[in-house]
Structure 1
């Protein structure tokens, strides 16, 4: 295996997971990354003299990383420090309507009782039970095993498990399923927001996304140094295991010879030979031919309506007042359906957006910060960064509407320095071919989940990883896709190694 050469395109968390696992197995791994550092979307931006996390901020499904590190002969706790969160998020609708969700089910149920009444609290308990059932049904066959089609999933769960698959309501939308647990429109809004974790609308996303509630209840952690520090920890361990990282290197195309992958060609003309290539880029970048015509059929092309949500983000250093910020905060719009209709049907920014804020200097154990704080603010946006970039006027209006929504909930911000804004066109520049979509294909309807490509492709030697690949978006899922890609390569190598060339009558030879 030491002579088997693997090139990983992209140092996002999926590519990092693949590189770590394969380097530990003894393969010669080279990671080629166009940026100057690892992490992909797990990045930070300079705002004044500070670094503000500009990508994912919620760390869940810790077991994915614990297993990844263990598979590589290391202990997760020795390389990354993550503290459990008791308060999951603080939610607000107006100055007087606020609700905290906690990791403890009873604490959250009591808060919902005080906020919306006993019936809604009882509905919350039933909702959590259903969420856990959905997660248990899908974790093994779908998340861990990488079954990417309905037939494979049904085969994996067996006859006895088909009833479980039916009970997770695969043909219902998230919004309609939530109506069986909640009547309060604010709670429908709160739990419907789980669809946006995958870049979708709660009105079209499948009900299976209720599993997010269980994922959060099992544990949300805050990573010391932010999620970019977690990416660096994986990259550092991969380096220790023998992987080579080439930053500032742009892959022009994937090279093939004799109908299989033979390496990559960089933009400066350098060719890096490889027996196998793992493409940890958005599947649409591959499908658009950004890595050459031979590999393009292994990717996908998405119509604008098929893309997941994009965002407008503001990385800020500001002094907040009037609202008791937690680490994670959500300020909901007045009309959720109108908000998503504007984004996904009219392809415009909403006049009244829901705003997410990660107050990165706030912890449950520590004192309240004094002076300016690092804030990541995010509103959902259509993924039109390629064909219809937002104008400066639209960005300015977006910032005004964002401030108006915060002020309606009692929060005002005094900026210590100009915020750093990233819009869908900015995400397209950072991640070419995506059109700014943050999560690949949007989960719309029961079958969309199965349209994501798996680790193996029809082009021999080419494998896929990342948030646009099975099992889906988000840091732990993207990391899991990297583990699945590494497992596929090791399985394929093992299968080949145990076969020997044999002469057969008729002049045919086979491995």
Structure 2
């Protein structure tokens, strides 16, 4: 009996997840990827011969990936080596320094020593509220198909009516943090969680406090970096029968008689399929990047609705002075001014700087520098998503780099950016890789209480075309992109009602998989 073909466009996390789950269920899966490797934004960049993660660097919500591998009859631990991180991140304001830990008591003690016992008490209250918000939204929103605010309220109300009033949808994250912290540095630290989805803490809802609880549940370090996760998902899909074709950009999604019929590659080759999972940004479909016939499948996104982009340096560098951990943040002096500049389409005069020291463990031990004394670094500052416009001048980029080095230098960090071993990615770089985004790395910005409900869901207006990825529901981030791939598969399977009743669902228990018992508590 001939298996039904499904084409997956794009080998980002959402596409890889969909491919593995569908192949495990007997579909004939072909993944078409425009670049030479899997991962999408979770890519590696060759910087002077060193392969450095150029995208996401934080691995959380392990239970999501355990469920994917389990659903495919495999174990995540057989594909990846993961180490639980005890230090979540190191933060610096000039000479002031604060580490946060997986152990909440250790974080409380550190905050008390840093800012006093009242701030430690505020941190306890903040953690309790972040946990409550996460618990309220995990099953009815993140692990469920996209719905309306009314439906979400109904689902939450069935569990606990009081939760309807305590997720802070109408108060900004910055204002919400003021209820817990008086020290502006702590407000700045926890306000930075808004940037995890490319948003401003002055415009996004207080609901995003839940990200703090996501990290508190567990952060892991991956041998081989985050790109190893993409390779693991690729291997899982291949072992279940999926085929991957790289350097194979799709020029058109074919639509016949009102439904998906296949794709046409840039080479002119045509492949037939009645089901297509598109792991590109939905704006690319709406803008006609996949042909005129598919444009009506989704609604587009205006430049004003875009999340932030970034300037990202990947460098094989020598460092000294500051004791880098794996994750490090060097804060600017004026947070409101930083986000005012981004809103105006400009680079911040003095940006907050994130550095992932990929070769270091959470204790700061360099595990892979080698005799050269160099280590692999990803250095990131936020930037507006203007990659499809004039972009930035060389002078503007040079000034931003100088200010970035000034901010890190205030904390005592000396680092080299050797031209032969440093690659800079800009919003224009990301627009070229992910068309119709302007370089926005997180889809829509999470500004305003209704922003999350405006994200594209897995189902589109054209039968047979499904969406997955960090720009679709439930949102940005590696685990969210994986959940979106599971949502796409769930809907596709429902649309194929003839599937065996004995077949397991795309992710056990739907996408309400219980939290991993190995996660750190908070």
TM range (shorter): over 0.9
In structure 2, stretches of 5+ residues that fail to align are: 502-522
CA RMSD of aligned residues (A): 1.5
Cα pair distance change 1:419/1:366, threshold 3 Å: closer
2: CA distance between counterparts of 1:391 and 1:206?
33
Q: How far, CA to CA, are the matches of 2:34 and 2:161 in structure 1?
A: 45
8 A Cα contact 1:288 1:300, kept in partner: no
Q: Secondary structure at the match of 1:494?
A: coil
For 1:230 and 1:389, the matched residues in 2 are separated by 32
| 1:420 equivalent in alignment to 2:423 | yes
Match in the other structure for 1:359: 357
Superposition pairs of residues 267-416 of structure 1, within 5 angstroms:
267-344=266-343, 346-364=344-362, 367-368=365-366, 369=369, 371-416=373-418
Aligned-residue offset at 1:160 = 5.0
Aligned to 2:300, what secondary structure does the other structure show? coil
Structure 2 counterpart of 1:509: none
SS of 1:170's equivalent in the other structure is coil
Q: Once the 2 structures are TM-superposed, how far is the Cα of residue 460 of structure 1 from its aligned partner? A: 0.7
Q: Are 2:133 and 2:209, in contact at CA under 8 Å, matched by a contact in 1?
A: yes
Q: Aligned equivalents of 2:309 and 2:203: distance in 1?
A: 16
Deviates more, 1:486-495 or 1:302-311: 486-495
Give the match's secondary structure for 1:248.
Answer: coil
2:21 matched to which residue of 1?
21
Structure 1 segments of 4+ aligned residues over 3 angstroms from their partners? 364-370, 415-418, 495-498
Q: How many residues align?
A: 496
Contact 2:157 2:163 in 1 (8 A): no
Aligned to 2:71: 71
- 1:365 Cα offset (Å): 6.1
User: How far did 1:165 drift?
Assistant: 2.2
SS of the counterpart of 1:442? Answer: coil
Return the match for 2:455 from 452, 456, 465: 452
For 1:377 and 1:367, the matched residues in 2 are separated by 18
Q: Which residue of 1 aligns with 2:517?
A: none
CA apart distance, 1:118: 0.6
**8 Å contact kept, 1:279–1:462:** yes
- For residues 81 and 207 of structure 1, the distance between their equivalents in structure 2, rounded to whole angstroms, comes to 35
Kept in 2, the 8 Å contact 1:285–1:299? The answer is no
- The alpha-carbon distance between structure 1 residues 496 and 70, as it changes in their structure 2 partners (threshold 3 A), is closer
Structure 1 segment 89-238 matched on structure 2, within 5 A: 89-95=89-95, 97-159=96-158, 161-238=160-237
For 1:366 and 1:312, how far apart are their aligned partners in 2?
24
Q: Which moved more, 1:20-29 or 1:401-410?
A: 401-410
Shift in CA distance, 32/160, structure 1 to aligned 2, threshold 3 Å:
closer
C-alpha separation in 2, matches of 1:101 and 1:286: 41
Instruction: Determine the structure 1 residue equivalent to 2:442.
Output: 439
Residues 326 and 364 in structure 2, CA contact (< 8 A), matched pair in contact too: no
* Equivalent position SS for 2:318: strand
Q: Distance in 2 between matches of 1:358 and 1:484?
A: 31
Contact 1:81–1:224, Cα closer than 8 Å, also in 2: yes
Deviation at 1:358, TM superposition (A): 0.3
Deviates more, 1:402-411 or 1:149-158: 149-158
Q: Is 1:467 equivalent to 2:466 in the alignment?
A: no
**Counterpart Cα distance in 1 of 2:487 and 2:280:** 15
Do the aligned residues in 2 keep the contact of 1:148 with 1:452 (CA within 8 Å)? Answer: no
Normalised by the size of structure 2, how large is the TM-score?
0.93
Give 1:490's match in structure 2, choosing from 473, 482, 493. 493
Does residue 478 of the first structure (1) align with residue 477 of the second (2)? no
Partner of 2:82: 82
Secondary structure of 2:377's match?
strand
Structure 1 residue 373, shift from structure 2 partner:
0.9
Is residue 23–residue 238 contact of structure 1 (8 Å, CA) maintained in 2? yes
Where 2:314 maps in the other structure, the secondary structure is strand
Which segments of 5 or more consecutive residues in structure 1 lack a partner in the other structure? 499-511
Mapped partners of 2:477, 2:362: distance in 1: 24
What CA distance in whole angstroms lies between the structure 1 residues aligned with 2:250 and 2:331? Answer: 41
Query: Which secondary structure does the structure 1 equivalent of 2:161 belong to?
Result: helix
1:3 aligned residue = 3
- Give a deviation string over 1:93-151, Cα, whole Å, max 9, x none: 112x0000000000000000000111100000000000000010011111112233212
Alignment deviations for residues 284-341 of structure 1 (CA, whole Å, 9 cap, x no partner): 1111110111221223332222100000000011111111100000000000000000
SS at match of 1:21: helix
Structure 2 distance, partners of 1:494, 1:277, is 17
Distance in 2 (CA, whole Å) between partners of 1:212 and 1:290 is: 33
- Alpha-carbon distance in 2 for matches of 1:439, 1:159: 31
SS state at 1:324 partner: coil
| Contact 2:324 2:364 (C-alpha < 8 Å) held by counterparts | no
